[in-house]
Amino acid sequence: MSINQPVVAIIMGSDSDLNIMQAAADILKAFDIAFELTVVSAHRTPLRMVDYASKAKDRGLKVIIAGAGGAAHLPGMVASITPLPVIGVPIKSSNSIDGWDSVLSILQMPNGIPVATVALNAAKNAGILAATIIGAFDDSVSKKVSAYKQQLEQEVMAKVDKLQNDGWNNTYDVH
């Protein structure tokens, strides 16, 4: 995989979403997956969105992660234009109804236009899912994803051992 050629796009409806979407960028960096990150608003820059989505595959992108809050049309609109897999990240924005509007806008896509959807503000999971998709065709990325999952298992097992050895009432403040 070329370091200079992005294979994953991270797009968001506003730069105010960057504090959430940064987690996708961080995990892709950890897996050494080249990505690009930009703002593409479905409502404020619809022509840019159409241009971006329609040219994404020809530019060498393999997966698009699209984060959006409020009405959250960006992931679905991009998915309707590109043949690439789109992972939607619902974001609890300042004008959001506890994030449910974003979740449902992305989750409830009509048949024929699927968008993979992660949990509210779960950009890290979107990055891991993108890496998993890339890893299906790239053994080096697949090995990094497997190692990451093994690390998670080791962290949990260390907590199991601590709880077993120290006891729950000596380990955790339950008050």
Write out pLDDT tens, residues 57-99.
999 999 999 999 988 999 999 999 999 999 999 999 887 788 9
Residue 38 located in a structural domain: yes
14 labelled ligand-binding: yes
Question: How do residues 122-168 score in pLDDT, each as one tens digit?
Answer: 999 999 999 999 999 999 999 999 999 999 999 999 999 998 898 87
Please indicate, yes or no, if residue 43 is contained in any of the structural domains.
Answer: yes
161 is in an annotated binding site: no
81 in a structural domain: yes
DSSP state of 69: E
Residue 145 near residue 31 (C-beta atoms within 8 A) = yes
Contact 81, 117 (CB under 8 A): no
Residue 175 belongs to some domain of the structure: no
pLDDT tops 80 at residue 41: yes
For residue 138, count other CB atoms closer than 10 A to its CB. Answer: 17
Query: Which residue is associated with the tokens 């004008």?
Result: 95
Q: Give me the pLDDT at residue 174, please.
A: 55
Q: Which two tokens stand for residue 32?
A: 């050494």
Amino acid code (one letter) for 12:
M
Measured CA to CA, the distance from residue 46 to residue 116 in angstroms comes to: 21
Identify whether 124 is part of a domain.
yes
Question: Has residue 31 been placed in a domain?
Answer: yes
pLDDT at 16: 94
CATH number for the domain that contains residue 160: 3.40.50.1970
Residue 109, domain extent: 8-166
Q: What are the angstrom distances between the C-alpha of 27 and each of 90, 125, 172?
A: 18, 9, 29
Residue 40 domain-assigned? yes
**Binding site annotation covers 139?**
no
Number of CB atoms found within 10 A of residue 161's CB: 10
Neighbours of 48 (CB within 10 A): 14
Calculate ∠ Cα 22-10-54, nearest 5°.
170
Question: Could you give the number of structural domains in the chain?
Answer: 1
Residues in a beta bridge with 12: 39, 67
Asked if the structure places residue 171 within a domain, the reply is: no
